[in-house]
Amino acid sequence: MPGLPAIAAAVRLVHPAPTFAVTALSGALGGVLLAQAGRLLDERWLTTILAVFGSQVFVGATNDLVDRGRDAAAGRLSKPLAAGELSPGAAVWIASLGLAVQIAASLQHPPAFLLLGLVAVGSALAYNLWLSRTPLSVAPYLISFGVLPLWVATGVGVPLERVAIAPLLVAPFAAAAHLANVLRDFDADAAQDSRNIAQVLGRERAFRVAWGLALAVGTGVGAALLVGGAVSLPALGLGVLGLVAIAQGARGPHALWTGMLVAAVAWTAAWAIATA
């Protein structure tokens, strides 16, 4: 049996905060879509969430695998591979397990579900292998997160037109999330000649774009729900919580990244309450 330090390192390898957030958001979206269709949570919902979770494990593990040399050179000892707390071989097994879970869960669905999942995870893998260090670093975020609502809707078996507008809302938020994420390592990336989009824009401009996009998405969605008369007091409270989480991100990239995770969960819950 692996010891507690190895288990903790394995958990850190798969980037637990974004993994939990994306999986939870997918589960909430699937649940809302089923509730709106007058259906209960079922096996398709569960296997959809398992597929998303597996994809996040694979993406997180391969990200640290590819970047282990750069992480070590930059002194990122919070990374288990760079710190020597986990071997590359163990990371390969964890990544493989994640992909196996995704594919096995996907086989319980129509082929379109497997295809959408492979597009999402393939885009993320392209980011890990190459695009993360180029001006196109934001593209996989737009693709993978743009596909996510369609992936979930296909999984739970509701018409795609129910989430047709979602990619238009997700795309700017995903771009903001990417900028906030890479800004946390701005100096280390610059020292290693990375040319991701934040390096191209510059630290200050990239931060303003990230913060502004995140705030605009929340404000726009909230305004649309208010105009439509669909906001209850709990939904309003969650919406405001998300806006506060983004607003406090003005303190810096780390605060913005944390605030975006909180806002994503809060706004999804608000939308669920307002539209269920």
pLDDT bracket for residue 12 (50, 70, 90): very high
- The secondary structure of the chain in percent helix, strand, coil, rounded to multiples of 5, reads 80, 0, 20
Query: CA 48, CA 182: separation in Å to the nearest integer?
Result: 29
DSSP letter assigned to residue 132: G
pTM to 2 decimals? 0.90
Residue with tokens 């209850």, as numbered in its chain: 232
The letter for the amino acid at 239 is G
pLDDT bracket for residue 132 (50, 70, 90): very high
Task: Answer whether residue 134 shows pLDDT above 80.
Answer: yes
Give me the half-sphere count of Cα atoms (radius 13 Å) on the Cβ side of residue 81: 24
- The set of residues, in sequence order, having a beta carbon less than 8 Å from that of 188 and lying 6+ positions away, is 70, 74, 76
Query: CA 105, CA 101: separation in Å to the nearest integer?
Result: 6
The pLDDT value recorded for residue 235 is 81
Taking the C-alpha atoms of 224, 225, 227 and 232 in order, what is their torsion angle to the nearest 10 degrees? Answer: -160
